Amino acid sequence: SGAQASKTGGVLTPTKDDFQKVYNDVAELLENNDYDDGSYGPVVVRLGWHASGTYDKDTKTGGSNGATMRFAPESEHGANAGLKTARDLLEGIKKKHPWISYSDLWTLAAVAAIQEMGGPKIPWRPGRKDGDVSACTPDGRLPDATKEQKHLRAIFYRMGFNDQEIVALSGAHALGRCHTDRSGFDGPWTFSPTMLTNDYYKLLLEEKWAWKKWNGPKQFEDVSTKSLMMLPTDMALVKDKEFRKHVERYAKDNDLFFREFADAFGRLLELGVPFEKEEKFVFKSTTD
């Protein structure tokens, strides 16, 4: 491993093959029956998104370039609770492929997790450089799940996304679950939290949702099984007319969801990165 990368002697120019090897190693790490629903995939997706979602288009600060979540205070921000699990998981890959930056590794790992969980191909390119603690973003740039549409728009417009893209990204909550010892919320959004599908949108529209009666933070539960959850920010997508339009489009058409999700998520991972090259790689999934 790493052979290709060092072949050029002196100057390190990893090839697509080298990144595919990193992808393959990430893919191999994801499944684990002792963890959550049997996969680290969801928490790895959340790491890639939280590393990227700090971007502010006006000041051009934040974003995945820098991988500043390695450092306090960013690692200690409430929104990042639990992401040490994902960062530690990827440490072994970094040791095996020391030439890759953490910032490229975290975003590539998120792409691998999405593809391995049955999601669309997300074209990805390298070029992120790790920064130091001085580039940590201030707390409060990531969304607050107790809020609704006004807050969602403020947060995602700041990154440069529009309403359709906010709804397309949100389908990633088909994956994973909330943990009481991380965010305080509890439970998964769908019945198949390790498979990316448009189920999130279908459930939002088709299930009846009510406030969960408990001592934890305000969240919704499905009335029929009481085993699924929605955050106030998730429910805002069906309350708001403009958002709801897109929830309906994606609930009806998984291919459309995959296309628009891949575009928006791919862009999220690139926010604020000064790339030198245009070329993007489409990685082979282990099931290809």
Out of 30, 90, 145, 269, the only residue in the binding site for ligand HIF (CB under 6 A) is 145
- Tokens 């500043």 belong to residue: 68
- Catalytic residue (choose from 49, 50, 124, 173): 50
Q: How far is the CB of 224 from ligand HIF (least distance, A)?
A: 22
CB-based burial label for 168 (10 Å; 0-12, 13-18, 19+): buried
Q: How far is the CB of 114 from ligand HIF (least distance, A)?
A: 9
Q: How far is the CB of 38 from ligand HIF (least distance, A)?
A: 11
Q: How far is the CB of 45 from ligand HIF (least distance, A)?
A: 4
Size of interface with ligand HIF, in residues (CB under 6 A): 23
Binding mask 108-137 for ligand HIF (x = CB under 6 A): ------------------------------
Produce one character per residue of 93-111: b if its CB has 16 or more CB atoms within 10 Å, e if not: bbeebeebbbbbbbbbbbb
**CB-based contacts of 3, cutoff 8 Å, min separation 6:** none
CB-based burial label for 238 (10 Å; 0-12, 13-18, 19+): middle
Q: How far is the CB of 275 from ligand HIF (least distance, A)?
A: 21
Under rule CB under 6 A, which residues in 40-79 are in contact with ligand HIF? Answer: 42-43, 45-46, 49
- Catalytic residue (choose from 49, 106, 124, 189): 189
Residue 221, helix vs strand vs coil: strand
Is residue 30 close enough to count as binding ligand HIF by CB under 6 A? no
* Alpha carbon distance 92, 213 (integer Å): 41
Cβ atoms 218, 211 nearer than 8 A: yes
Produce one character per residue of 44-73: b if its CB has 16 or more CB atoms within 10 Å, e if not: bbbbbbbbbbbbbeeeebbbbbbbbbbbee
Nearer to ligand HIF, 14 or 48 (CB): 48
Single out the segment in contact with ligand HIF by CB under 6 A; choices: 12-20, 93-101, 169-177, 277-285.
169-177
Nearer to ligand HIF, 39 or 97 (CB): 39
Question: How many residues in the chain?
Answer: 288
Is residue 192 close enough to count as binding ligand HIF by CB under 6 A? no
50 is catalytic: yes
Under rule CB under 6 A, which residues in 172-191 are in contact with ligand HIF? Answer: 172-173, 175-179, 182-183, 185
- Tokens 């490229």 belong to residue: 104
Helix 241-252 to helix 232-239 angle (10° resolution) is 90
Contact positions vs ligand HIF (CB under 6 A): 42-43, 45-46, 49, 82, 143, 145, 152, 169-170, 172-173, 175-179, 182-183, 185, 231, 233
